[in-house]
Structure 1
Amino acid sequence: MRIGIIGPQATVDEVLTAVSTSGLFVECVPLVYSSYKETVELVERNENNVDGFLFTGTTPFRYASKYLSPKQQWEYLPRNTTSFLCALLKAAYINNYDISSISVDSYDELFIRKAYAEIGLTGEDIKIIESPYNIFNEDYEMKVAEFHYDNFKSGRSNVCVTGLKSIQELLKKKNVPVVKLSPTAELIIQQINKMRLLHKLTLSEKNIVAVIAFSVSFEIENSYYGKSELHMFMSRNKVTEIIYAFAQRIGAAVETHENGVYHAYTTKDVVETETNGFSSFNILHSIGIINGVKSVSIGIGLGKTSLDAKYNAKIGQSRAEKCGINCFFIVKDDHEVVGPITDVGEKTDEKVLDKHLYEISRRTGIGMNKLYKLERAVRKYGSNVFISKDLARECNMTHNSMNRLLLKLEESGYAKVVGKQPTSNTGRPSRLIRLNFGYLE
């Protein structure tokens, strides 16, 4: 497969280096510009010589998309938290810039604050000044460079963060502290591999494309901010590790998006095998039992093209999210919807996803989500006897909340005190509580 790499020289070189060490069997054709406004001409001149284009950023991709319709694959290297944090790291620890006050032209403020939160900086700790210009403004690069320069000279910002090489060069000439956002090698390989796989699928008309859309939400603990963020970071990394290991095993390409969303590209035959004929999905349970995971919603979309399959996968994912428990939907290429199917491989009624737990919920007044957390804890440890503190930790609840929940279960006959466990300190021994959910014993 021949892929045209469109971008400034430095970023194109980064892509070529990453691909050369990846072992991917693709031929990269460097298509270098000095300004992103040259992308239209580059695409028109080379679209018959390559199988697809990879734009090195969102700016050249958006610009070309306004004036041209793709005749083959178009992909771009998306901006993500990792790229932004790498830029901050370079600014702070290599260039010794003060990153508490920045001007930026490539991200919106909400996204930036989320990135800063990853390293423990929030609220009044940081000051962000966002560029008011868009890429279709006349003399965009010059205006944005002046925006950064004015903010630095007036003392409103300490360092400038830009997504464009041309703006970085303009600011360097004026001795303004500036760092440029760059894609990570992992992101480059991810997008190249996706293009390679989709190209392979288009060569075989028999293959129906399948996209698996994962949406994972995480618990926010009622504890000190830094501790909660660390736990969430570790949980998110574990989820990513599981999804990437799964994708590698089945030969799928993965896109990682913000807010716990992942897209895996493969074929219908592979997905049908992995889900036992669309009846169960082991990865749903593997992710669901990770400490800190609140819910796992998966949509499997099938289609004749990757766009169709992705669209259907998003529909399935959205349907799964509305169910409120760990489950997945399949949306076929004829738009037939199958599901929800839970992490134990049971196809269920959409209104009553688990009749047994639903009955417990009805009798006790405890929500289904909390009951599913308890069920996951029992399945994870292979035991239905716990102390309240351990259950609270496993279910990401406060100790007091768990005690109130257990009291409701006890009053309705679904929990029973069966003994006491001595504590290591001088406090009172902890009660041993047996959960009596019937089918979990």
Structure 2
Amino acid sequence: MKVRIGAIGPPDSLKIIREVVGWDPRIELVEFEYFGSEELPGIMSKHRYDVTQWIFSGQVPYYYCLEKDLISEKEALFPPQHGMALLGTCLQVMEEQGRFVSKMSLDTVDGDIVNSLFSEYHLEKISFNLLSYQRYREYDEIIDFHYENVKSGRTEVAITCLLKVYLALQKLGIPCYRIVPPKTAIKTVLDLLVSRALSQVYEKQKVAIVGFELIGHGENLQKAVYNFEEQQKELEFELELLQIAKKLNGSLVNRGSGTHFIYTTQGDYELLISERPFSQIANEINLKTSLRFNIGIGCGYTIHGAEQHIQRAFEYEGIEDGRKIIYVDEDGISTSQFGGQGNELLPNNSLPAFWNQVLKEHGYREQIPLKIYQYIKLKNIPQFTSDMMTLLLKNTERNSRRILSELEQMGLIRVMVEENPSRKRGRPKKAYELVLEEEK
């Protein structure tokens, strides 16, 4: 399985990232060129969930996206500017200037790295006027910093990590050089991103137990007459849970005393709540049956772990009011009220703009394509078949083939593998993958 990683940076940085990825068969790279921070919101809003992880060319675009909530720390990294990249750029300055240059202005790179590196190699004769900063600074500030230093004679040349600053200084006639991310740093970051992505796939396979506990069930059984209406409500309650179990691709188990567990996976649970909050599902059951119940959700890497977590959920103080959903996993406990959002909503509950446009042009309802798209993305499935879609959509093999054929004709999916019909009897099987943007 290949990990789909998005790369954001200027052309020269993307070229180096592309070269490093060429050594790693685990990665499928998707490139996005940018020249200024103003382009980042458009890129991220359109493509954020088209890839599993992101690599940024440097700290400025990374922290810009982080502070604007365009990305989270769990989704992206950037290669730090290692000292060797700076040392190599300084050698380039000497070579091109044809003389020893002792005074330079430098942005972005941490001052401790500069002092440590040049002290280690006894290069104290080279002095830097530094503009080090955490997170990101506006381009105009950085450009003014270098311009004023060179024009005033405090420095002879400018060294920057930012392409936009480099191009602006060149237009202003300032001798300028650019540091690009070193391949060793890029390789380290890509290894971390691949490990993180594979870990996320493992997370989707965790055991999830969704438990429902009727309030007052024991009191009903102790009544002299357990009337028909109460029995009917509990039967309706079980039928509702069966429907949820089907959507979760799970198994419903009656644990007695009015308690029911649905055994499923973390990925299937996330897929369900990506369509609508679990609190909304609970409200609908409550309205249909007029029964009060608690909901506990336990997730773990084993069945035993998940069962321990759901036990903690049902023992949580305050759950007995019949209006709370308690979620427990290795990270702890989170709660939400029926009708609230809690931690249920996933960020990716819509189709990419390209899919929306194509479906609209063909007058095709988005409900089934949305379900297929979300399932494939949540499960991180590189290729899928009609058999898989038959299980997902709960329909016939023939209908699944028809739907996939329609999506293929619209250019939303494409055939990757087709079995040789001469080797097997019957219709050859096709394996598909998603098409995330229009192919030129």
Same fold (TM over 0.5): no
Q: Structure 1-normalised TM-score?
A: 0.43
The structure whose RCO (Cα within 8 Å, separation 6+) is larger is 2
Structure of greater Rg: 2
Under a length normalisation based on structure 2, what TM-score does the superposition of the two structures give?
0.43
